[in-house]
Amino acid sequence: MTTETRPFGFWTATALVVGGMIGAGIFVQPAQLAPFGWTGAAAWLVAIPGALLLAYVLSCLTAARPHATGTVAIVAEGLGTLPGLLVGWSYWVGICSANAIIALTAVRYGAQFFPALTATPLATAIAATALIWALTALNFGGAKGAGRFQVLTTVLKLLPLVAVAAILAGLSVVDPARFSVNPHTPFDARQFTMVLTLAFFPLVGFECASLAAERVRDPARNVLRATLVGTALTGILYIILCNGIVFALPEAMVAASDAPIAMFVENFWGRGAGLLIAAFASISAIGCLNGWVLMQGELPLGMARAGILPAILGRTTDRDVPIFAMLLSSGVASLLVLSGAIPGLTDVLTFMLQLTTAATVWFYFGACAAAFAFGIVRPLAVVGMAFSAWVLWGSGMEALLLSIVLMLTALPLYWIALRRRPLAEQPT
């Protein structure tokens, strides 16, 4: 394949990983974990190695099947067409719901400068929907242009985060007492599983390079390197930022803030610097949304090419853009956004967000199970399945059961795809 169909080298693939992981979530994560004190700090020490382990298994799986049309297709090859479809469909639903939330977050940060964007729930929904379709149009131009935009926004989002990390590092040298003067909630083993799931959620996205392996040059080499490097860098940044801010300020102050990183910067550099962080938070969300808009098309494309989904979702333009898959995915995300503006349905997005982690972790579990079936890094695959099951349990029984229900909604598509396959290719 040419550089037109495989436009992503190592650095673009790494930007895809980092951009997929770092969205708007990192700008609010300290507030989410602050009430748990030392339990939250400990959760990172398990969540990040767990993410690295899963990333390694997924990368090895991709490297062993470099000509596959994506990780979901490999799962289907290893476990069967139906399990592959269920896992991939669950993950696709998670992407669509996450894109709705990311678009709304970008608009809400942008409203710090243009209040009209969030003057009413309908205005917010319209602005977020417009953002989804603007990035969809960008992706219609081909993966190459989307990849370049991803590199640019990843660099822009990292600049303020690295600056904040540098401030925290400097404080640890010149004023180490600041991190111990404020009392914090002691470690509570009973809450650890739930807090682990909270800490793991912002790490979701490390699989982006594996999912887009069909677009990566020399995938056997670059997917593994990009995934591990991107996951490790993001994990280190999360530990420094989240734990640093939580322990540098009073716990209650961080927990009550809607923008804890902006608040932290404002305390040191003033209001202007805090607004600058808000601007970069919006850029971060837009960059993250761009990466996931690309993924929301690539995932059903790979599944359709593998015969798991109806062939129409595998149709592409002359630039190899999965036009129907992209339209369907952005349409679903837009409906979720707009539903939040309907009176009485304002909790729909919150409901879908609760399912995102569970829906995504099913994909990790399936990938590890496929690696085990193929005999690829089997000991690590077993540990990966156990870790995924742990995170699933931490998401709560309601989210777990509902994620299973969502999987089953893919069954009609399975039967449609099956009926249109030649008899000799149908599973027995």
What's the pLDDT tens digit per position in 91-146? 888 888 888 888 888 888 788 788 888 888 889 889 999 999 998 888 887 656 55
- Average pLDDT across the chain, whole number: 80
Q: What is the DSSP string of 157-226?
A: HHHHHHHHHHHHHHHHHH-GGGGTSS--PPP-GGGHHHHHHHHHGGGTTTTHHHHTGGGBSSHHHHHHHH
Q: Which residues pair with 216 in a beta bridge?
A: 8
User: From CA 321, how far away is CA 298, in angstroms rounded?
Assistant: 9
Model pLDDT, residue 424: 37
Q: Which residues in the chain land under pLDDT 70? A: 1-7, 23-25, 69, 142-151, 153-154, 210-214, 220, 258, 343-355, 417-428
How far apart are the C-alpha atoms of 114 and 108, rounded to whole Å?
9
User: Exposed/middle/buried for 340, CB within 10 Å: 0-12, 13-18, 19+?
Assistant: buried
Cα angle 215, 218, 224 (rounded to 5 degrees) comes to: 90
Give me the pLDDT at residue 1, please.
47
3-state SS of 395-424? CCHHHHHHHHHHHHCCHHHHHHHHHCCCHH
pTM of the model: 0.78
Residues, the chain, total? 428
Per-residue confidence (pLDDT) for residue 27, from 0 to 100: 72
8 A C-beta contact, residue 79 and residue 366: yes
- Cβ–Cβ under 8 Å, residues 161 and 22: yes
CB 309 within 8 A of CB 334: no
The pLDDT of residue 31 is 83
Task: Tell me how far CA of residue 167 lies from CA of 157, 161, 348, 412, in angstroms.
Answer: 16, 10, 38, 54
Amino acid at 428: T
Token pair for residue 26? 């990192």
pLDDT at 178: 72
The DSSP code sequence of 316-342 is --TT---HHHHHHHHHHHHHHHHHTTS
pLDDT at 253: 87
Q: How many CA atoms lie within 13 A of 331 on its CB side?
A: 6
pLDDT of residue 142: 62
Domain 10-420 CATH assignment equals 1.20.1740.10: yes
